[in-house]
Chains A and B, each alone.
Chain A
């Protein structure tokens, strides 16, 4: 027998309590990891290597204000611009408002996949998309969700814009760790339906290199200063964070729930450890009588509590990872959550929480046990 073997034997002496405690820690860590993943996704939207090269130009006042189409020519002429595409959120209704929670954007068909190379579409399909003005390209998950296939007709009813694009699906894009639930269609077609008013929501620009971005941002905004529609240009990440800030206190709310979960776990584990140690007060005294000193006993309690919390933590954290890797979260959330990747950082945070939990919850019972004299311990249950 070894000391670690002795700790394991002690942990397993009440199997039902062990199972329930590990399960409670695991479920709590599952919730914690899930909430942290949600929080992480909100505050750190998925990015790719390419996203560092992209910048977005919008109206300086708000996203609800539009820019003139003619800005595109001036932007494209600026040094450091590789590609520039119009990018207008359509926000139409497909069949029913409850089905319509997917992004629909009017874009420049010949540039959009150059600006977003991580969205991969078959060359022939891209060529077909570029060629046909009323065509669209759709993300793989969206195709799957609605059971669409190439050649299907899709009509969007404008809820913001007064037009109803009738689109033919000509391509499917796939991407790893990037939203696969977007529909792209021709901005020219949208403009035509809007009676050539030349309105654009945003311009998405791919810079030639990351180094030119700060200068490019300044140049674009300077180019349109003192016009009727001044611009605000920012990096893709900064643009995404603008949306996040609109969520207001959701971050605080999720953070508060996470804290409550951790605190509840702490109470459950501390209570279990206290019960386990109180039941064994006499045995602790025996160990001391046999020559184990206070630190040895503290170590035994600490190791048991730590092991218990970490077992629950590992089950909870990796259970979350496994579950969200194997469950179609997009289908399960009816299209509201396209991706739910549990990151390594979130797993590490969950395990750190479990470790701290194991250590902290053992402190009070360990202290009591250390302070109790051998004689007092031997008198327990006598």
Chain B
């Protein structure tokens, strides 16, 4: 489903260049639950942003279902995100003036669905995350865990190809974090959703089927070596 080839991302120019991703290659199959792990500054969020189409690589390819995301125009990329990507952020990022229902409905406003159809989709998504009884609540009237579940419902409501989660439990207590991770796992196992999650928490990563480590912008293999170290070893 996702093929990342020779992906590089460099921030800044000239002497203050920072290489966030350095010739990264990765394949993600449909229906996977992948955890991207690594220390701060390792490039895991950058990689997630590029494959979710909210950032562009400096070079390389990022193919999602055959579409090179990096080559889409801004407008096409926005449409593509609406159709193919569901986001879950660390800080929930719900719109504070909208109710849970309206927050979940927001991405559907860009579709051709009627108000009735939108209502059905939103209700189903909120039921799926167990918050059908909190539809009319504003974000400030919900707990952190509930807010994150609303965010998951919003990510799911368009039935996207990818569900990307950037540190989804970073702002939650252990109990709420377990709830959210369990929900992501259920969505992966029962609804066959492809989930890509960035985390630095090994407990959270344990919910994933596969864990990939990044360090200084490079992927590590199972022995903890980067691809560059490996090639240098071969050269010796």
Contact = CB atoms under 8 A, between A and B. Distances in A.
Co-assembled chains A and B:
yes
Interface of A: 1-3, 6, 9-10, 12-13, 282-283, 286-296, 373-375, 378, 382
Contacts of B83: 291
Interface stretch (B86-94, B125-133, B182-190, B205-213): B86-94
A287 B54 CA distance: 11
Nearest to B157: A290
B227 interface: no
Contact of A293 (B75, B85, B93): B75
Interface stretch (B26-34, B62-70, B105-113, B194-202): B105-113
B23 to A, nearest CB: 21
Contact of B78 (A13, A282, A293): A293
Dominant secondary structure of chain A at its interface with chain B: helix
8 contacts: A3-B109, A9-B102, A282-B93, A287-B106, A289-B85, A291-B81, A373-B54, A378-B54
A375 B74 CA distance: 14
B218 to A, nearest CB: 20
Given A2-B109, A12-B97, A378-B89, A293 B74 contact: yes
Contact of A1 (B75, B81, B109): B109
A378 B88 CA distance: 12
A290 B79 contact: no
A382 B91 contact: yes
Q: Which 5 A-B pairs have the closest CB atoms?
A: A291-B82, A293-B78, A374-B54, A9-B97, A290-B107
B93 A288 contact: no
Interface of B: 49, 52, 54-55, 74-75, 78-79, 81-83, 85, 87, 89, 91, 93, 95-98, 101-102, 105-107, 109-110, 154, 158
Interface centre among A9, A13, A283, A293 (most CB of B within 10 A): A293
A291 B110 contact: yes
B198 to A, nearest CB: 13
Given A291-B82, A375-B55, A296 B95 contact: no
A373 B87 CA distance: 16
B189 to A, nearest CB: 26
Nearest to B82: A291
Nearest to A286: B93
A294 B91 contact: no
Contact of B110 (A2, A296, A375): A296
A242 B87 CA distance: 71
A293 B79 contact: yes
A292 B81 CA distance: 9
B107 A9 contact: no
Nearest to A283: B95
Interface centre among A10, A290, A293, A378 (most CB of B within 10 A): A290
Contacts of B102: 1, 6, 9
Given A1-B105, A12-B97, A286-B95, A291 B78 contact: yes
Given A291-B107, A291-B110, A382-B91, A6 B98 contact: yes
A73 B109 CA distance: 81
B63 to A, nearest CB: 20
B93 A13 contact: no
Contacts of A13: 96-97
B24 to A, nearest CB: 17
A343 to B, nearest CB: 40
Contact of B109 (A6, A9, A374, A375): A6
Nearest to A297: B78
A296 B109 CA distance: 11
Contacts of A382: 91
A16 to B, nearest CB: 15
A375 B82 contact: no
B54 A295 contact: no
Nearest to A5: B102
A245 B93 CA distance: 63
A140 to B, nearest CB: 55
Contacts of A283: 93, 95
A9 B89 CA distance: 23
A338 B21 CA distance: 78
A375 B98 contact: no
Given A12-B97, A13-B97, A292 B110 contact: yes
Given A283-B95, A288-B54, A294 B75 contact: yes
A283 B32 CA distance: 29
A286 B97 CA distance: 14
Given A291-B81, A373-B54, 10 more contacts: A6-B109, A283-B95, A286-B95, A291-B82, A293-B74, A294-B74, A373-B55, A374-B49, A374-B54, A382-B91
A291 B79 contact: yes
Contacts of A286: 89, 93, 95
A288 B89 CA distance: 14
Contacts of B154: 290
B97 A10 contact: yes
